[in-house]
Amino acid sequence: MLGSKPDPVLPARAEIDAVACANASGRSAAALGLPAPVFSAMSAVLTSGQASGRHSLRALRGLSTGTLYLLPRHDRGGAAAQRLWRRARQFRMEPAWFRLRLRAAGYRWQRFSVRPLAEYHALVSRLCGDDPALREQIARKHPSTGVFAVALGLAGGEFERVIVAGMSFELTHAYGANPEIAERGSAASKHADTDVMVLARLARRGDLFTSEPLVAERAGVPLVPAGA
């Protein structure tokens, strides 16, 4: 599973049977000569109109994936009328607009999957053994798109193991400066604490590894040797 971290530490090429991507990390995969991803998980924020989303959307130009999983924006709750009003204002993150914008960027996919965000939360919780402490953490801040992609890879049953690369718990992008860093005045990801907790629990399964020393250090994910 390849994230968007600059200069990702990859395992040996012989260890890479397939690639999965998060958001616009397909650009990193292409630059590194890796195969097109068998699946990609993307946040609806990519087409929200925010500067960081536009930045990632440009990086996707001309790329492709097998299955494209759209992760909906978190619904903050409230009365039905409030939710409907927010949805009307946030039409840019609806599936139809998302598909339109990606097609306009020349991005292609074979299958398009939309699930409620609660299903992704339930998937992560199940893979982590339904840990109450983790459920509470996810309620405070859900995992990043990259960690959801890890969960999808582990749950699919197609692969003996998943190796995480290109993850740093920061907002940095391999394909240019992420505008959100300047806006917030920090490169730290708001998802970092949840991501570390999820990865630490997933690592207990025995089928999750990483080639990134930082991921091994912070989340206790077993480290595999980097490629030459």
Taking the C-alpha atoms of residue 217 and residue 117, their distance in angstroms, rounded to an integer, is 29
Question: What 3-state DSSP class applies to 168?
Answer: coil
> By the 8 A CB rule, do 6 and 214 touch?
no
The per-residue DSSP string of 58-88 comes to: HHTTT-EEEEEEEEPPPP----HHHHHHHHH
Distance between CA atoms of 82 and 208, rounded to whole angstroms?
Answer: 40
- Counting every residue written for the chain, the total comes to 228
* pTM (2 d.p.): 0.90
Query: What span, in angstroms and rounded, lies between the C-alpha atoms of 158 and 207?
Result: 12
| Cα 219 to Cα 224: distance, rounded to the nearest angstrom | 14
Structure letter (DSSP) for residue 209: E
- Write down the domain spans for the chain: 13-218
**pLDDT 10s digit of each residue in the chain, 228 long?**
999 999 999 999 999 999 999 999 999 999 999 999 999 999 999 998 889 889 999 999 999 999 999 999 755 555 554 555 445 457 778 999 999 999 999 999 999 999 999 999 999 999 999 999 999 999 999 999 999 999 999 998 888 899 999 999 999 999 989 989 999 999 999 999 999 999 999 999 999 999 999 999 999 999 999 986
- Residue type at 157 in one-letter notation: G
User: Residue 108: which H helix or E strand, with range?
Assistant: strand 108-114
For the beta carbon of residue 139, count every other beta carbon within 10 angstroms.
Answer: 10
Calculate the CA 80 to chain-centre distance: 29
Q: Are 126 and 198 in contact (CB under 8 A)?
A: no
